[in-house]
Chain A
Amino acid sequence: MKFNLKIWRQKNAQAAGKMVDYTIENINADMSFLEMMDVLNEQLIRKGDEPVAFDHDCREGICGMCSMHINGRPHGPLRGTTTCQLYMRNFTDGETIFIEPFRANSFPIIRDLVVDRSAFDRIMQVGGFVSVNTGQVQDANNIPVNKADADLAMDAASCIGCGACVAACKNASASLFVSAKISQYALLPQGRIEAQERVLAMVNQMDEEGFGSCTNTGACEAECPKGISLTNIARMNREYYVASIS
């Protein structure tokens, strides 16, 4: 297979960036998208050019490190998939592929396709936890949890923190990410104890980081590689109203 690539190149955070054209040939349909990028980078290095910097790590769709906005969509054309789980068979031979970083002011570009998503970490640091110290806990089965709630909590907890929700949202809202964490804890008895403080702190921090508001277009849910549901956002809102007025 052969592809025309249009890739965002930007030397560093301060430099101006631009889309640069590359052509790549002899690509196997069973290659993953990132393996195609590896091939491109090896070719660039052989020519003495600098490779395209991009984030990636586990390459099994779970660490959330890979990003990239491919052909107009975060994580590319397949639903429920991270970029690392995208295969070249999902593209057509000769196609032009646009590859851009996740774009949001809250995710500043570090280089090329690498963005800084530490805003998510900072949101977690103000409330994305249950305040228990190591060793001070009771036997696990002393906290029974209704199976349906446990399953919903697990659904929410599957979030990999990749930021596709922000990248897809017209307002660059982080609501899906934040609500997934709030939901996980709100649904479990362990998390209920400080649920109000948590939602107030995390929502506050989400605004501080400069993410936009949720306007319920559903783009985040559609692009989320883990299929995190919009119901989490409704739950966050509910939790937030109750916490604000009580």
Chain B
Amino acid sequence: MNKKSGTKSLFSTLIGKKMLMGLTGLFLITFLVVHCGINALIFFNDGGELFNKGAEFMGTNLLIRTMEIVLFLGIIAHIVDALLLTLSNNKTRIVKYAHQKPNANSKWYSRWMGLLGTLILMFLIIHLKHFWVISRFTDHIAHSELDKLPGQETMFAEMKEIFENPMVVLLYVAAMVSLAYHLMHGFQSAFQTMGWNHPKYTPAIKKIGFWFSIIIPFVFALMPIALHLGIIK
């Protein structure tokens, strides 16, 4: 058998690239938990007080700020890796089938991860512009209602303002639907790619993945809706 020395390095093979997809995907999933948790503070319906505190913590804590860089690197890696994989996968079947019934053997969203991911990316750009850019690179955001300077808004107030536009709400909800389907496949797929498949635990992972993919995007989607409808004041 060929000696190990002749073989490629881990990330130059397709499996290695998939491993990177899985790892970054799982990392982004943990980010979703944190993000969703902080944002869900608005549901205390205390005029955004708790939420603004959370936002301040996220904006000032050193560890969080460091992780923010790691997060961006993770997103970029996830995207670039997906792009590389897609480019190479697009070359594997030049002549297509005249007739195909892919739904007979797989779920549509498992085959459209790239598209779902692209939708999420597009949303992400808008979303970052809405909140992250102004909070990090402008003086527009105040930490709380109390120490607000003229022309400043709290994060909570900013949110309320942005979600007054029904088109934005619609966009956010649609993006969360994309995210739900992306997660529906991605969550359990990441485990499978990492090789964590076991007759005892895999059914549980799949179940958790399923509910995770529904609950997290649902909670996210609820926020613009609730703010828009004025349920949260």
Contact = CB atoms under 8 A, between A and B. Distances in A.
Interface of A: 6, 8, 19, 69, 71-73, 77, 98, 100, 103-106, 126-127, 129, 131, 168, 170-173, 194, 196-198, 200-201, 203-204, 206-207, 210-219, 222-223, 230-231, 233-241, 243-245
Nearest to A172: B92
B3 interface: yes
A172 B101 CA distance: 15
A197 B92 contact: no
B1 A234 contact: no
Given A106-B92, A216-B189, A218-B110, 9 more contacts: A73-B104, A213-B85, A216-B192, A217-B185, A219-B102, A222-B104, A223-B105, A234-B192, A240-B16
Most chain B C-beta atoms within 10 Å of own C-beta, residue among A210, A219, A223, A239: A219
Contacts of A19: 98
Contact of B100 (A72, A106, A203, A215): A72
B223 interface: no
B17 interface: yes
Contacts of A69: 97, 100
B72 interface: no
Contact of B18 (A210, A211, A213, A230): A213
The 5 closest A-B pairs by CB, nearest first: A238-B195, A234-B197, A72-B101, A222-B105, A213-B14
Contacts of A233: 192
A238 B192 CA distance: 10
Contacts of B196: 234, 238
Interface stretch (B5-13, B39-47, B155-163, B210-218): B5-13
Given A105-B92, A212-B89, A237-B194, A219 B105 contact: yes
A151 B113 CA distance: 35
A217 B7 contact: no
A230 B196 CA distance: 11
A158 to B, nearest CB: 18
Contacts of A213: 14-15, 17-18, 85, 88-89
Contacts of B92: 104-106, 171-173, 210-212
Contact of A103 (B97, B105, B106, B202): B97
13 contacts: A6-B98, A72-B104, A73-B100, A98-B98, A103-B95, A105-B91, A126-B1, A200-B7, A204-B13, A212-B93, A214-B18, A215-B110, A234-B195
B99 interface: yes
Contacts of A126: 1-2
Nearest to B113: A215
